[in-house]
Each structure stands twice: as C-alpha cells, then as structure tokens.
A = this chain, B = another copy of it.
Amino acid sequence: MGGLENGATNNQNSSPTTTKPTKTSLSPDSMINLDQGDPTLFEPFWRKMGDKCTLVIEGCDLMSYFSDISNICWFLQPQLGDAIKRLHRVVGNAVTEDRNIVVGTGSTQLLMAALYALSSPADRHPVSLVAAAPFYSGYKDQAEFLRSGLYKWEGDAHTFDKDGPYIEVVTSPNNPDGAIREAVVNRGEGKLVYDLAYYWPQYTPITQPLDHDIMLFTFSKCTGHAGSRIGWALVKDKEVARKMTEYMQISSIGVSKESQIRAAKILGVLGEGCRTADSENFFEYSHSILKERWERLRNVVKNSRVFSLPKYPRDYCNFTGKYMDSNPAFAWLHSKEDIDWESRLREHKIIARSGERFGASPKHVRISMFSPPEAFNLFLERLSAIIDNTNGNVVT
C-alpha cells in the first residue's frame, strides 16, 4: 500500500454507488497505520441497516445558506437539532434542555469557534489555553497555527500557574488515554470546554447526563461517519452560542446541509435502534467489537515485562443498566524502557503516535483501536513478536 506520506493505509475511495466492504490486502511487508482514529470498522453495521439509512437528495434541495433564521445558529437544519436532542435523551449522556445547539464542520471547527467565543479582542493579553497532559495532540496545532492574538497554548493544565483568564479543555473520556476527567485548574477566571467525543456507550459506561457550559460532540466517533464532518456543541449561554455561530459564519458561512440531514437521519435510526432489538442496537454492536479487541490486546500485553496498558474502573452504565468496562478508541501503551517507541514500532512496520505529541514521554505511544480487522490482527502478531524479543532483552 503506497501513499503513506499522508499517513493512512485504510484508504477507501468510497462511492455512493459501490457499497462493498473495505478491501485490505496486507502482506507481511505492509506498513500498518494505527496513527489516526478512522472509524471505518463500524461500516458493516450501517451496511446491514440497508434502506433505513438511505438518504435521497433532489437537485433542488438545500440550496439556501439559511436553515432556520429564528435560531441563533441559523444554518442548523432543524431536523438535526431534533435528532441530537432525542439521541442524548435516549443515551442519557448530556443535558439538552434549554441548551443552544451550534453545528460545526466536525467538533474540530467547534473547538476553534469556542476559543473565539471565549476570548476577548479587548483584552491586552491572549487568554491561556490549557489541557491536562496527556492531551489530544490537535489542540496545540489548532491554538498555534494562525498565531492568533486572542488565545495562546500554554500546555499541561497540571503545571499551569499563570495569572489571568484561561480556557481549559477537558476531554472525557480522554484522548489518548481513555481516562474519565474533571477540570484540573479550577480558578474563578477559568472557562471550560468539555470535549465529549468519546462519551458514548461503546467506549465507556454512561454514568450521568453531563451538564457543562460548553460540551462538544462529533458524529465521527458516535456512529463512525467521519467523512461527513459533523460536530455539535451544546451551549448554555446564548451569547457564547452567538459568537460560536459568528466564527462559523466568518470562517465558512455555515456547515454542509447534505451532511446535516444525513447525520439527522442516521442519528435518528441509531436512537430508534437503541429501543428495539439487540441486532439493531449500534452501541451493542460497536461495544462488542471494541471489547473483543481490547481483550485480545490485553492478552498480548500481559505477557510483557515492559509494556502496560491503563486500567479502567468498572462502572454502572445507566444506558445499558449493567456494570461495564471501558473500551477506549485508542490504546495508550506504556513501556518501562526508555526508548522512543514511535520510532521503534515504525521499524516493525507499525505507525503509532508518540507520547511526546500528547505532552507525555516517548515511552508512551497511542494506538488506534479502529483499524480494519486484518490490520488489527497483523498488529497483534507484530506486537507479540516485539514482546517476545523484549522479554528476552533482544530488542531488534
């Protein structure tokens, strides 16, 4: 598989007319890309759902910039707003009553919008942006790439000691390490953005409906539809929602309506499926895949003298009505050996992301649990071989 410059092996030239399963043709020489979290492993479920999720759009549909001018977020399609609220009610992971919904081109664009909304051009100094390490590597890039005078990346929230206003991003469950998190800095001048991309039942027990000022979610990680680029923010304060909408207006004049109505349809089917037969319950399906992968990975890692994986507390999930384990989207592999594990794994034809990118040590690597089945199998084989070598102290 060529084209690894862009960092992917599980490419699909998806076409709406061909809906065949992803073909992977990995050989012992193939590089396996476990860098990104491309959630195509959930595709078979949506194929099985057939016509229920099929969307038909006529040539004359959705032509206007506007969706609902009575809404602060005037480009939000009303059916998407409704589907989002219904799904949160079914899952019980977030409070939506009296919240403003702002839709974005993925939750990525919404984080940028939140930084814009929570900073003030009138302030002499940029507002500090922090997140507790290990933090999602994208936040730093987003905060720094335009050299904005509105906000400034200050890194790890644990060591943050600057005076003045700050924004803390709380990622829960956390990317990269899957931990359930609370705010760390806890000062009066602080504003919080909760990135809840992974607070869905396939990844973690749903212990309560969260009720924070700004909560970000994304279609990509909820259902696996990353290509649609749909995220949403639940926002308590009207003025913050208005400024986030303004960010979206200036930077892209709104968000794809085709993606919005498709997300509305699929989130609707997802919500319905939760109430009916198990075979149509997406969260059961996706949970079972991740659970099996985590069991297999833990079985491989437990033989190692140097590698370890985080342990997650079992917790009662209000959604399933059972005690459940966490099965995060990424494995945060730690090694006792003081080695740059990203480089070492690459020698073994495994692409993972170094702990350094997340404000941690290179003894950590983040590994996507989302790869196509064949790639995941090959990864476990190669990791087993590495572990056999390290146990014999023959690291090659």
Complex Cα distance, B68 from A15, in Å, reads 12
Q: Which chain B residues border A105 with CB–CB below 8 Å?
A: 105, 252, 255-256
Q: CB of A257 within 8 A of chain B?
A: yes
Q: CB of A364 within 8 A of chain B?
A: no
Q: Which chain B residues border A43 with CB–CB below 8 Å?
A: 60, 63
Complex Cα distance, B246 from A141, in Å, reads 11
Name A68's contact: one of B11, B63, B253, B258 (CB within 8 Å): B11
Closest 10 CB pairs of A and B: A53-B59, A256-B256, A147-B149, A258-B258, A46-B59, A227-B257, A47-B60, A105-B252, A46-B60, A3-B69
Contact B59 A10 (CB under 8 A): no
Q: Which chain B residues border A4 with CB–CB below 8 Å?
A: 69
Q: Which chain B residues border A78 with CB–CB below 8 Å?
A: 13
Complex Cα distance, B150 from A2, in Å, reads 34
Q: CB of A204 within 8 A of chain B?
A: no
| Closest chain B CB from A18 CB (angstroms) | 9
Contact B42 A63 (CB under 8 A): yes
Contact A49 B59 (CB under 8 A): yes
What number of copies of this chain does the assembly contain? 2
Name A253's contact: one of B14, B54, B58, B229 (CB within 8 Å): B229
Q: CB of A91 within 8 A of chain B?
A: no
Q: CB of A320 within 8 A of chain B?
A: no
Q: CB of A36 within 8 A of chain B?
A: yes
A/B interface sample: 7 pairs, CB < 8 A: A15-B79, A16-B62, A105-B105, A229-B254, A252-B252, A255-B256, A256-B256
Contact B65 A59 (CB under 8 A): no
| Contact A38:B65 (CB < 8 A) given known A58-B47, A58-B53, A229-B253 | yes
Q: CB of A134 within 8 A of chain B?
A: no
Interface residues of A in 24-61 (CB under 8 A from B): 36, 38-40, 42-44, 46-47, 49-50, 52-61
Chain A: how many interface residues by the 8 Å CB criterion?
A: 86
Q: CB of A251 within 8 A of chain B?
A: yes
Complex Cα distance, B116 from A251, in Å, reads 13
Q: Which chain B residues border A250 with CB–CB below 8 Å?
A: 108, 138, 141-142, 145
Complex Cα distance, B146 from A64, in Å, reads 27
Q: CB of A276 within 8 A of chain B?
A: no
Q: Which chain B residues border A141 with CB–CB below 8 Å?
A: 250
| Closest chain B CB from A76 CB (angstroms) | 11
Contact B40 A226 (CB under 8 A): no
Complex Cα distance, B142 from A78, in Å, reads 27
Contact B12 A64 (CB under 8 A): yes
